[in-house]
Chains A and B, each alone.
Chain A
Amino acid sequence: MSDTAVQTKEVTPQVSGAPVAADALQTRLDAMHLPAGGFTSAARADALTRLRDMGLPGPRDEYWRFTNPRDFNAPAPAPISVPEKMQDSPLFQDLDRLKLIFVDGEFDAVASDSLGLEGIQIETLAQADEVADHWAKGIYGSLEAAGQKPVNRPFAALNTVSARDGMLIRVTGKPSKPVHIVHRRASEDADVTWHHVIRAEEGAELTLLETGMVGARSNGMIEADLARGAKLNYIGARQAVHQKLELSHIFARVESEAQLKAFVLSVNGTLMRHETVVDIVGDDALAHVAGAVLGDGNDGPFHHDDTIFITHGGLRCESRQVYKKVLKNGAEGVFQGKILVKPGAQKTDGYQISQALLLDERSQFLAKPELEIYADDVVCSHGSTTGAIDETALFYLRSRGVPKERAIVFLVLSFLADALEEIEDEDLRGQISDRLEAWLTRHENQ
């Protein structure tokens, strides 16, 4: 019987799976130039051990069932031409900000602003890693290592092993303007890894923006350590030609009364996986993570995966996960989100919503919401929906004379509104909203 035959065939590689995976990992590592590191050397060695234990993921792994890691496992990405000009102008360019430029993952001091700004210390990983000791030593690779339990995140370990550059940002006060990391592309086959470390000291506040074009393949990471009462607002909006392969990880450790707010906008991309791992370790802290995704399969295959893990370990903490995906022409979206409430984390308020708006019948959304609760006095809720454009609302707009395609743009923006609301700053929110609208308008008639 053919079913049995298929099953047997599938089982075979699993039996001999380990050596094959180890070979694949070695090939992947051989394709990279691994830095020895200065203050990071021990962390890099630990990460390499972790990585060898875990191996590269396969489609059978619990958290890779919806997203095939093949292209992330490959030794090198397929080259992608570097466009002379993007369709959209760069984001936030009129904003008063401290601009840090990365070209194919390496800091470009000439193109960047001076690193001096009151209330904040900024260095590059590449330079700082020439010495043996540094304030970032206790953070680099350690939040990532902590975030490997209970779910393996091999590409995060790979990042810690291989990252050559990134920003090391220590916030001691309330800098007068946001720090804006801008990525640029130079070569067609760039396989880019960067690793930022942020330490926000007690009561410090930072808005961090990260935008621009990343390489053919990228693996970016932020490790953010928020001390008591610190506040970090992060807005990520990577821009690219469609074919990019993008991995990103945010690992955050949130102490008492600290606040993390992260929003990521994703448009375009063949294969994207964004993992956000937040460990709330103190009381009265807050973590809001949100994402808005626009995918059009007519630009090429589109697959976007948000994998979120929030751990509540303190009293009276609040977390929100708000993820919205708009998918058309065969685009695929994935959401895997978990809230873990540890024993004793009473009065936890945890909320999770993942929603997809499918603009046709060929697109697909897969969601895996999870709650795991070991405290008895908490409020946790999760919801996941997949739907089409609301016909009544569409008719309402059209009956006022708004053309159909324009009305759909309005309704898509309406659908995304909850996620955008997580951006605190009205001006920044407006710029993201304009960007969404521009993309939607370009894709109106496809």
Chain B
Amino acid sequence: MLKINNLHVKLEEEDKQILKGLSLEVPAGQVHAIMGPNGSGKSTLSYVLSGRDGYEVTEGEATLDGNDLLDLEPEERAAAGLFLAFQYPVEIPGVGNMTFLRTAVNAQRKARGLAEMSSAEFLKAIRAKAAELQIDAEMLKRPVNVGFSGGEKKRNEILQMAMLEPRMCIMDETDSGLDVDAMRLVADGVNALRSPDRSFLVITHYQRLLNHIQPDVVHIMSNGRIVKSGGPELALQVEEEGYGDLLAEAG
């Protein structure tokens, strides 16, 4: 589904190479995790894939279902089925959660040639999904992420994911700032969305999220590249030994 080949990325504003030939393939239905020390380029990867300004791709390609991602605007990537759950979801005062999400859903449906959802249809769908995620209906009426706790913000991300039904979900340190219960809720939300035609790329510092979201493959990233890939046991090894030995071994 997601194919990244020899991706080189530098910051636009300074001459600093962040990704240095990263290759990765996530087949349909699989969950891949990326772990790595601070500064290894994990967040850059998520931003470059979803189209944030400020990065320049100097070499390599990334495709989703065979379509080149890197030339698309962020909203076109979303319509193509890509979703990024933010590490720090943004607060937008004065814009209702519901209005925002309905605009997003309908913009994507329009881009895919589908009929827009009516208010009633949308309301019904979002209420059902919110209930599954234990999101209070009151929260839907509030401005986007304003006054939400850390856990509520992350559950709101998962709610957006559930409503937008993306093919490829990238989760950027979704576990950061969450207590154990909040993490379990988020993980349950993600697990409920797992399906044979949907894939996940879970970026995390810690193994503990992977206890709740079982990955098929774990990649270790360092200095802008994937240096080692393996099964879930690789994450356990990181948890016990740290990155030092693994990185030394990978050279």
B89 in contact with A410 (CB, 8 Å):
no
In the bound complex, do residue B93 and residue A402 qualify as a contact, i.e. CB atoms below 8 Å apart? no
Question: Is A12 engaged at the interface, CB distance under 8 Å to the other chain?
Answer: no
- The answer to whether A398 touches B74 (Cβ under 8 A) is yes
Q: Does B104 contact A (CB under 8 A)?
A: yes
B196 within 8 A of A: no
By a CB distance below 8 angstroms, the chain A residues around B52 are: 395, 399
**Contact indicator A401/B108 (Cβ below 8 Å):** yes
Whether B94 contacts A399 by the Cβ 8 Å rule is no
Q: Does A281 sit at the interface, judged by CB under 8 A? A: no
Q: Which of B51, B79, B100, B101 has the most CB of A within 10 A?
A: B100
Q: Is B160 an interface residue (CB 8 A)?
A: yes
Instruction: State in angstroms the CA–CA spacing of A104 and B175 once bound together.
Output: 63
| Chain A: CB-nearest residue to B50 | A399
A390, B92: Cα distance in complex, Å: 10
Cβ–Cβ < 8 Å partners of A416 in chain B: 94
In the complex, the answer to whether B107 meets A401 with C-beta atoms within 8 Å is yes
**Are B104 and A402 touching (Cβ within 8 A)?**
yes
Contact with A along B98-116 (1 / 0, CB 8 A): 0011011101100100000
Question: In this assembly, does A420 line the interface, its C-beta being within 8 Å of a C-beta of chain B?
Answer: yes
The reply to whether the CB of B62 lies closer than 8 angstroms to some CB of chain A is no
Q: Min CB distance, B56 to chain A, in Å?
A: 16
Asked if B103 contacts A413 (CB within 8 A), the reply is no
**Given A404-B73, A413-B95, A417-B93: A391 touches B103 (CB 8 Å cut-off):** no
Q: Shortest distance in angstroms between B160's beta carbon and chain A's nearest beta carbon?
A: 6
Contact A393 B103 (CB under 8 A): no
Residues of A within 8 A of B108 (CB): 401
The answer to whether A398 touches B78, judged by C-beta atoms less than 8 angstroms apart, is: yes
Given contacts A393-B92, A400-B164, A401-B111, contact A410 B75 (CB under 8 A): no
What is the CA–CA distance of A398 and B92 in the complex, to the nearest angstrom? 13
Q: Contact check, A399 vs B84: say whether CB atoms are below 8 A apart.
A: yes
How many chain B residues sit at the interface, stated as a range, is 20 to 34
B53 at the interface (CB under 8 A from A): yes
Distance A402 CA – B73 CA, assembled complex (angstroms): 11
CB pair A399–B74 under 8 Å, yes or no, is yes
Beta-carbon nearest neighbor of B166 in chain A = A401
For the A-B complex, the count of residue pairs with Cβ-Cβ distances under 8 Å equals 81
Could you tell me if B50 and A406 are in contact, using CB atoms closer than 8 angstroms? no
Q: Are A398's CB and B75's CB within 8 A?
A: yes
- B248 part of interface (Cβ distance < 8 Å): no
- In the complex, A414 Cα to B95 Cα: how many Å? 6
CA distance A393 to B79 in the complex (A): 18
For B148, list chain A residues within 8 Å (CB): none
Q: How far is the CA of A8 from the CA of B77 in the complex (A)?
A: 62
Shortest beta-carbon distance from A157 to chain B in Å = 39
Cβ-closest chain B residue relative to A411: B92
Q: Please, how many angstroms separate the alpha-carbon atoms of A420 and B143 in the complex?
A: 14
B-contact 0/1 string along A332-360, CB 8 Å cutoff: 00000000000000000000000000000
Cβ-defined contact, B53 with A401, below 8 A: no
Question: Of A390, A402, A417, which is within 8 A of B100 by CB?
Answer: A402
Contact B51 A397 (CB under 8 A): no
User: In the complex the two chains form, is B100's CB within 8 Å of A397's CB?
Assistant: yes
- Report B70-91 CB contacts with A as 1/0, cut-off 8 Å: 0001110111000110100110
* Given A401-B108, A402-B107, A406-B107, also A414-B164 (CB < 8 A): no
A401 and B79 CA atoms in complex are apart in Å by 6
> B187-201 interface mask toward A, CB cutoff 8 Å, 1 = contact, 0 = none?
000000000000000
A416 to B86, CA, bound (A): 25
Q: When A392-B90, A396-B86 are in contact, do A401 and B95 touch as well, CB less than 8 Å?
A: no
Q: In the complex the two chains form, is B92's CB within 8 Å of A402's CB?
A: no
Task: Name the CB-closest residue of A to B104.
Answer: A400
Q: Are A403 and B75 in contact (CB under 8 A)?
A: yes
With a CB–CB cut-off of 8 A, which chain A residues contact B83?
Answer: 399-400
**B78 contacts A417, C-beta separation under 8 Å:** no
Closest chain-B Cβ to A255's Cβ sits at a distance in Å of 33
Report the bound CA distance from A398 to B89 in whole Å.
13
Report if A414-B94 is in contact (Cβ < 8 Å); known contacts: A400-B78, A402-B75: yes
Instruction: List B contacts of A397 (CB < 8 A).
Output: 92, 100, 104
**Does A396 contact B90, Cβ atoms closer than 8 Å?**
yes
Residues of A within 8 Å of B101, CB to CB, are 400
Interface residues of A in 383-437 (CB under 8 A from B): 390-393, 395-404, 406-407, 410-411, 413-418, 420
Could you tell me if A399 and B51 are in contact, using CB atoms closer than 8 angstroms? yes
Question: With A and B bound together, what is the CA distance between A401 and B80 in angstroms?
Answer: 9
A402 touches B103 (CB 8 A): yes
Write the nearest CB–CB distance from B12 to chain A, whole angstroms.
12
Distance between Cα atoms of A351 and B79 in the complex (Å): 44
A401 to B76, CA, bound (A): 7
Nearest-neighbour CB distance to chain A for B51, whole angstroms, equals 7
Report Cα–Cα, A401/B75, bound state, in Å.
4
Chain B nearest CB from A179 CB (Å) reads 28
Closest chain B residue to A407 by CB distance?
Answer: B75
In the bound complex, residues from chain A placing their C-beta under 8 Å from that of B78 are 398-401
**Residues of the A chain whose Cβ atoms lie less than 8 Å from the Cβ of B160:** 400
CB pair B94–A413 under 8 Å, yes or no, is: yes
B85 (CB) vs chain A CBs: closest residue: A399
Report which of B73, B79, B92 forms a contact with A410, defined as CB distance below 8 A.
B92
A411 to B92, alpha carbons, bound, how many Å?
7
Cβ-defined contact, A398 with B73, below 8 A: yes
- B74 (CB) vs chain A CBs: closest residue: A398
B73: A residues at CB distance < 8 A: 398, 404
Residue among A392, A397, A400, A415 with max Cβ neighbours from chain B (10 Å): A400
Residue of B at shortest CB range from A419?
B94
With known contacts A391-B53, A406-B107, A414–B93 Cβ distance under 8 A: yes
Given A401-B78, A402-B100, A411-B95, 6 further pairs, Cβ under 8 A: A396-B89, A398-B78, A400-B78, A406-B107, A417-B95, A420-B94
Which residues of B come within 8 Å of A, CB atoms? 50-53, 73-75, 77-79, 83-84, 86, 89-90, 92-95, 100-101, 103-105, 107-108, 111, 143, 160, 164
Please list the 3 inter-chain residue pairs (A to B) with the smallest Cβ-Cβ separation, ordered nearest first.
A417-B94, A401-B78, A398-B74
Between-chain CB contacts (< 8 Å), 5 pairs: A399-B84, A402-B75, A402-B103, A410-B100, A414-B93
